[in-house]
């Protein structure tokens, strides 16, 4: 399985290399002096703008885990379906790409608005799957809509194969995700649902309820003023975080991909905030630095191998 994923990623790199080279030539994602971060890839922009004020490997296509669900939410809302409709949690028609535990009972029902809420705030994978399965054109049409939207937004280093982020074949760049977050932030439902602290979800047939909590600890801190949030994790993707929050008197988009530890994205967000406020670069733990070096070396080796294969 790992060899198959590597082969597919190599094929994707073959397709993306011309685009990546073009980005470097334009200097649009060139890394600039900034804070020291544990995250291997990162991008920072003023909310509403796709111009990066800080970039770290921001044009590198990598697995994005459950950050995928921001695009899932965007496609749901732009499809025009009713948020009041009751959706059925049907047994998956294909196996999950990774182990996906859920407390939701097969064949139970929940309103689409609440399904969308728990997919965003609590990263409920069965919820994201059900949103795609309930799309008017069906599951495959939903995936096509995700990729069509990415193309429309100019996300040239992005592709999706599932709505949850459980697949390592869901790839994007930090720079592309700034575009996605800015587009998603135009929808009040995404802003509200993704920043809900706690939620008690109501199901029917049978009738029961479940409690859900937000996966981003920063939404609980008023000083951050988090206006949109999504976390993600897979072993191949590391810890990921995208959000809009208050920094240096502005609304700022932060994209952090592939961090080593559970709290590393939160620490990076704090370092970015202090850098914008004071210019301080901050310190990163040795283990995080070594992790970043290893991931950079692995990625560069993959690119080298792919380039050699093209010759």
Active-site positions read 66, 69, 123
Q: In what order do the strands lie in the sheet with 52-56?
A: 52-56, 41-46, 250-259, 238-247, 228-234
HEC readout, 109-176: EEEHHHHHHHHHHCCCHHHHHHHHHCCCCCHHHHHHHHHHHHHHCCCCCCECCCCCCCCCCCEECHHH
* Residue 89 neighbours by CB under 8 Å, 6+ apart: 104, 105, 106, 107, 108, 109, 110, 126, 130
Give me the half-sphere count of Cα atoms (radius 13 Å) on the Cβ side of residue 80: 2
Tell me the Ramachandran region of residue 165: left when phi exceeds 0, alpha when psi lies from -120 to 50, beta otherwise: left
What whole-number distance in Å separates Cα of residue 244 and Cα of residue 253?
5
How far is the CA of 231 from the CAs of 8, 136, 141, 228, in angstroms? 24, 27, 25, 11
What whole-number distance in Å separates Cα of residue 131 and Cα of residue 152?
21
The two tokens of residue 131 are 């949103």
Backbone φ and ψ of 124, nearest 5°:
-70, 110
């Amino acid at each position: 399985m790992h060899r198959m994923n590597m082969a597919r990623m190599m094929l994707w790199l073959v397709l993306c290399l011309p685009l990546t080279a073009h980005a470097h030539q334009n200097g649009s994602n060139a890394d600039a002096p900034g804070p020291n971060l544990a995250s291997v890839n990162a991008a920072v922009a003023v909310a509403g703008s796709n111009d990066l004020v800080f970039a770290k490997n921001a044009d590198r296509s990598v697995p994005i885990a459950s950050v995928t669900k921001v695009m899932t939410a965007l496609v749901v809302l732009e499809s025009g379906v009713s948020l009041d409709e009751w959706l059925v949690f049907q047994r998956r028609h294909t196996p999950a790409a990774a182990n996906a535990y859920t407390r939701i009972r097969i064949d139970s029902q929940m309103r689409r608005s609440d399904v969308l809420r728990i997919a965003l705030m609590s990263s409920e994978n069965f919820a994201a799957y059900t949103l795609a399965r309930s799309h008017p054109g069906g599951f495959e049409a939903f995936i096509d809509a995700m990729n069509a939207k990415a193309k429309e937004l100019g996300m040239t280093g992005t592709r999706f194969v599932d709505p949850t982020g459980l697949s390592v074949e869901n790839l994007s760049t930090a720079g592309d995700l700034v575009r996605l977050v800015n587009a998603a932030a135009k929808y009040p439902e995404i802003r509200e649902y993704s920043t809900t602290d706690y939620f008690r979800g109501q199901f029917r047939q049978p009738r029961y309820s479940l409690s859900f909590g937000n996966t981003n600890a920063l939404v609980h801190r008023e000083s951050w003023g988090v206006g949109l949030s999504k976390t993600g994790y897979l072993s191949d993707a590391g810890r990921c975080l995208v959000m809009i929050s208050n920094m240096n008197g502005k609304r700022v988009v932060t994209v952090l991909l592939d961090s080593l530890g559970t709290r590393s994205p939160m620490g990076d967000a704090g370092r970015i905030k202090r850098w914008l406020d004071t210019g301080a670069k901050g310190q990163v733990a040795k283990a995080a630095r070594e992790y970043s070096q290893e991931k950079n070396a692995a990625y560069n080796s993959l690119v080298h191998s792919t380039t050699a294969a093209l010759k």
